[in-house]
Amino acid sequence: MGIFILTILDSTMALRPTPEMQQRLSRLEFLAKQAVEGFITGLHKSPFHGFSVEFAEHRIYNPGESTRHIDWKLYARTDRMYVKRYEEETNLRCQIVIDFSSSMRYPSEVTLDSPGMNKLKYSVESAAALIELFRRQRDAVGLSLFSDTLDLQTHARSSMSHHRMLYHKLEGVMDSPSSAQETSAISSIHQIAEATPRRSLIIIFSDMLDKSEDLDSVIDALNHLRHNKHEVIVFHVLDKSTEITFDFPERPTKFVDLETGAELKLHPSEVREHYISRMASLRKELSARCGAHGIDWIDVDIAEGPVPVLARYLIKRKKLL
Amino acid sequence: MAVEFTDSNFEEVALKSGKPVMVDFWAEWCGPCRVVGPVVEELANDYEGKVVIGKVNVDHNTELSAKYGIRNIPTIIFIKDGEVVDKSVGASPKNILEEKIEAML
């Protein structure tokens, strides 16, 4: 279990969009568009050209099937019944999974509108940017949210209205007041593995600070996803300056576990060395064991912005298609 | 230059050549086929002498289309020792087709 600074926690979260949220929704969508535009401008080669979303082939029409995709112009010209098929049908199906337990509100309580960053805001903004990217590539995307239980599991779709709904849900997560919610990543991931259609790409944003502290169970849960033929990327979201390098001021400091409320008064210099080495070995072990099961484990720093997330996703997509 | 296969010359030109064969099934009215066409021509030049690469117009050569069970166009089939060893349906990029040809060599 990690060490956290105190924030005020109360009430339960609400996921239904309010009119005020809908107004601000466009801001999250706007931020996502900006992030993706900036990212694409920075690429040397656009990933969006080529055959991937284009009309790819004609197939003989089978009597009895839907007439929706018949190429009527061709029928008019040649009397032949052919169906147009698009590459889109073979596009990716992706499930974004966000851990919104209390530890994700580290290092400080922020909202979408306020300056500053915490792990949850980073995850929400990165997810919004990914959704924008999926929209452009016409990939289907779904969303799962979990803390101590699995709170939301949507289907993967590629329609505009579905994307809007996902932005609403993401806004809802950021706007919900925080309460002391422990992480139960393990049981949630097992549920997601069963609920998501096979052969999906599952992208998880979490600090993976599970209440059970049992690495074997975490790996078992992630492996369950692989067993169901999913491709898995875990973005291990961290505040590098404090969680990896333990960069706290040299004075007695009160550390509070955001999930349980447990407090500990310490002088940072007393535990720094021990903390850094334990954290390093934990990250190394998780990364190595995930690698052995074909799971991409990637540490991301909330100070970096969503670009590394987008880049990593595109690399993975290229490998898959 | 890609060979123009027909129902009558296919046996002689392709199957009895003793070389691996790549056949592109296409039609004039099919947009994606026109995208693949130039790629097939390029491959025919690149692999000249090593692989017999040609095209079959499905409207004029219904026997060949039926024999190989072609229901989608463009479809590209890869034949080695008279057997279909691989197949690519839809507009595939050049590198994918190259990989499949290399696998036959």
pLDDT in tens, B56-85: 999 999 999 999 999 999 999 999 998 999
Inter-chain CB proximity B90 and A57 less than 8 Å: yes
**A128 and A256 housed in the same domain:** yes
CB atoms within 10 A of CB A277: 10
Residues A66, A143 within the same domain:
no
- For residues A71 and A150, state if they share a domain: no
In a domain, A104, yes or no: yes
What is the residue range of A190's domain? 19-43+92-320
- Region A157-181 average pLDDT: 84
If one counts every other C-beta atom within 10 angstroms of the C-beta of residue A259, the result is 24
B 33-72 → A contacts, CB under 8 A: 35, 71-72
Determine which one of B2, B21, B30, B58 is catalytic.
B30
Residues A70 and A185 in one domain: no
The CATH fold assigned to B3-104 is: Glutaredoxin (3.40.30)
Q: Which residue has the tokens 């990716």?
A: A92
Residue A70 sits at the chain B interface (C-beta within 8 Å)? no
Rounded to an integer, the average pLDDT of A218-230 is: 90
User: A76 and A97 share a domain?
Assistant: no
Q: Does B74 sit behind a cis peptide bond, omega within 30 degrees of 0 on the bond before it?
A: yes
Which of the following is catalytic: B14, B33, B52, B73?
B33
pLDDT for res B4: 93
Banded model confidence at residue A91, pLDDT cuts 50, 70, 90: low
CB contact under 8 A, B32 and A55: yes
Considering the domain boundaries, does residue A6 fall inside one? no
Considering only CB atoms, B29 lies closest to which of A60, A78, A85, namely A78
- A113 located within any domain: yes
**DSSP calls for A162-194:** HHHHHHHHHHHHHHSPP------HHHHHHHHHH
User: Which residues of chain A neighbour B89 with C-beta distances below 8 Å?
Assistant: 57
Same domain for A102 and A158?
Answer: yes
Give me the pLDDT at residue A199, please.
82
**Higher local confidence (pLDDT), A16 or A267:** A267
Instruction: Please check whether residues A224 and A278 belong to one and the same domain.
Output: yes
Measured between CA atoms, the residue of chain B closest to residue A55 is B32
The mean per-residue pLDDT over the stretch A279-306 comes to 89
Say yes or no for a CB contact (<8 Å) between A57 and B74: yes
Question: What is the tally of structural domains in chain A?
Answer: 2
Domain residue limits, chain B: 3-104
With residue A78 as reference, give the H or E element that holds it.
helix A72-78
**Does residue A243 share a domain with residue A169?**
yes
Looking at the fold, whether A224 and A238 belong to one and the same domain comes out as yes
**Cα–Cα dist A253/A251, whole Å:** 6
Place of tokens 């072990």: A285
Asked if residue A294 and residue A253 are part of one domain, the reply reads yes
Evaluate whether residue A2 is within a structural domain. Answer: no
Convert the pLDDT of each residue in A35-66 to its tens digit.
Answer: 777 665 555 443 443 333 456 788 889 888 88
d(CA A184, CA A190): 10
Nearest to B73 among A50, A55, A58 (CB): A58
Q: Please answer yes or no on whether B91 and A78 come within 8 Å at the CB atom.
A: no
Residues A188 and A269 in one domain: yes
Q: Is B30 marked active-site?
A: yes
Q: Angle at CA A30, nearest 5°, toward A24 and A36?
A: 145
CB contact B74 to A (< 8 Å): yes
Q: How many CB atoms lie within 10 A of CB A290?
A: 22
**Best residue of B65, B73, B96 to probe chain A, by most A CBs closer than 10 Å:** B73
**A5 part of a folded domain:** no
Give the Cα separation of A291 and A232 in Å (integer).
Answer: 11
Q: A225-258 pLDDT, tens per residue?
A: 999 888 899 999 999 888 888 888 888 888 888 7
- Provide the pLDDT for residue A223: 92
pLDDT-derived band at A12 (thresholds 50, 70, 90) equals very low
Q: pLDDT at position A76, please?
A: 93
Q: Is A56 in CB contact (< 8 Å) with chain B?
A: yes
Same domain, residue pair A96 and A125: yes
